[in-house]
Copies of this chain bind each other. A is one copy, B any other.
Amino acid sequence: MKYIGIDIGGMSVKCGVVDADGRLYFKKAAPIQATAEDSAILKDIAVLVDDVLKESGTDKADVCGIGIGCPGSVYDETGTVRYSCNINFRNTPIVKMMCELTGVDNVRVSNDANCAALGETLFGAGNGAKNSVLVTLGTGVGTGIVVDGRLLTGNRSAGAEGGHIGINLGGATCGCGKRGHYEAYASATALMKQVEAACAKYPESGLAKYANENGIDGKTVFICAKNGDKTAIATLKRYIKYVGTGLVTFANLFFPEVIIIGGGISNAGDDIVKPLQRYVSRNIYGAQYNPKIKVVAATLKNDAGIIGAAALCMKND
């Protein structure tokens, strides 16, 4: 049994062949004409699917389904992309159109972050967990939530917006315009702002000197903390508390077996995962008698989206 996973991005589309154990054994990418008519975009994607089948030597008759991960507002149940910021999908019945274009009956779609969560949970860092939360710490904060092996998406797939939970009354302004949201404290963007503020406050610190020479990115504070700079250590400690506060909220609501950290910040590996594990273990409700929740870094990285998209079709076998 084979599945096709498609991961649509603003710049390119990735397509791969995945088996029932989540192994991705062939993948290929193609550019996307993001501003073209939706039908033209999908025709290109159908061509990519055909190429992938041919080049991987996969018989179309062996394909049990095609799963699609797409950024933006996706309504899983109707198979529609309501809109996507960077791609010209507007109420596009993507499932129906891809069925027609490929001749495959079992086509499914979900938000790209949801697909990544499903892939990581079933076949990556989640190691087959039934309940998990993937928290992506990048430009923003994205979340994908798996409950009893299925994606939690809420009414008309509008939920799982974990970047927009309120963690600090009247606090920092979020990209969405509201105050105190998790994303405004825990994203890589927020971390860089926190580092900037620390540098301005402590211009003599090792952190400020390093930042002056090298600029600030998501790694800056980790490098300087490792070098023993006190300002960096304090800034990182506060960031851990910010990220941890959201993780504890997810933990107390969903009580997953595993929380998976993805996005650029997860590249810090143990330097971010270990302190977050300690924070969660200390702060979950009923820590003394409840099961432990593992905090781990994502492992599938860029392939999580393809594998998770393919997995959208598997659950119905």
| Residue ranges of A at the interface with B (Cβ–Cβ < 8 Å) | 73, 82-83, 130-131, 143, 145, 147-148, 150, 152-162, 164-169, 171, 176, 178, 180, 241-242, 245-246, 248-249, 251-257, 283, 285-286, 289-291, 293
Contact of A166 among B73, B178, B248, B293 (CB under 8 A): B248
B168 touching A168 by the CB < 8 A rule? yes
How distant is the Cα of A290 from the Cα of B283 in the complex, in angstroms? 33
Given A147-B147, A167-B167, A162 and B252 contact (CB-CB distance below 8 Å) = yes
Contacts of A82 in B (CB 8 A): 289
Number of identical protomers? 2
* Minimum C-beta distance from A143 to chain B (A): 8
**Closest chain B residue to A83 by CB distance?**
B289
B254 touching A166 by the CB < 8 A rule? no
Write 25 A-B pairs (CB below 8 A) sorted by A numbering: A73-B286, A73-B289, A131-B154, A131-B155, A152-B253, A153-B255, A154-B254, A154-B256, A155-B291, A156-B291, A158-B286, A158-B290, A159-B251, A159-B255, A160-B255, A161-B253, A161-B255, A161-B285, A165-B248, A165-B249, A167-B167, A167-B168, A169-B242, A178-B283, A253-B253
Contacts of A164 in B (CB 8 A): 252, 285
Most chain B CB within 10 A, of A150, A153, A157, A165, is at: A165
Contact of A169 among B160, B167, B251 (CB under 8 A): B167
B169 touching A253 by the CB < 8 A rule? no
* Minimum C-beta distance from A77 to chain B (A): 11
| Nearest 4 Cβ contacts at the A-B interface | A154-B255, A159-B255, A165-B249, A158-B255
Contact of A253 among B73, B157, B160, B171 (CB under 8 A): B160
* Minimum C-beta distance from A117 to chain B (A): 13
Contacts of A145 in B (CB 8 A): 253
B290 touching A245 by the CB < 8 A rule? no
B256 touching A155 by the CB < 8 A rule? yes
A166 touching B245 by the CB < 8 A rule? yes
A169 touching B245 by the CB < 8 A rule? yes
How distant is the Cα of A143 from the Cα of B254 in the complex, in angstroms? 12
How distant is the Cα of A164 from the Cα of B290 in the complex, in angstroms? 14
**Closest chain B residue to A154 by CB distance?**
B255
Given A155-B291, A291-B158, A169 and B171 contact (CB-CB distance below 8 Å) = yes
* Minimum C-beta distance from A241 to chain B (A): 8
Contacts of A241 in B (CB 8 A): 169
Most chain B CB within 10 A, of A82, A253, A256, is at: A253
**Closest chain B residue to A257 by CB distance?**
B155
* Minimum C-beta distance from A122 to chain B (A): 16
How distant is the Cα of A249 from the Cα of B154 in the complex, in angstroms? 13
**Closest chain B residue to A182 by CB distance?**
B249
